[in-house]
Amino acid sequence: MTMLTHTGGSFEPARRSPGGHDTAARVAADAHLAMIRRFCIGALTVLAAGGTLAAIIALKAALFVWVFHYY
């Protein structure tokens, strides 16, 4: 029970060394961010291609209506 109670004195948390960052977790986080970045760039590329295709179709339709307008 004495391990669970505070026996007095100042409580000092464990000290961390200045270079004690978890490098394995940092590498994993960087790899995860790179994967997310690649996915977002790919998604934006697909959206840009789709927008370009839609613009070309709309332009062709507008030209067709303008040239072959029947009253």
Show me where the domains of the chain are located. 34-71
Q: DSSP secondary structure string, 9-46?
A: S---PPP--TT---HHHHHHHHHHHHHHHHHHHHHHHH
Please give the pLDDT value at position 53: 98
| Residue 10 in tokens | 């100042």
DSSP 3-state assignment of 70? coil
Give dist(CA 71, CA 63) in Å, integer. 16
Reported confidence tier of residue 12, pLDDT bands at 50, 70, 90: low
Q: Which helix (H) or strand (E) holds 66?
A: helix 23-67
pLDDT in tens, 21-70: 678 888 888 999 999 999 999 999 999 999 999 999 999 999 999 888 86
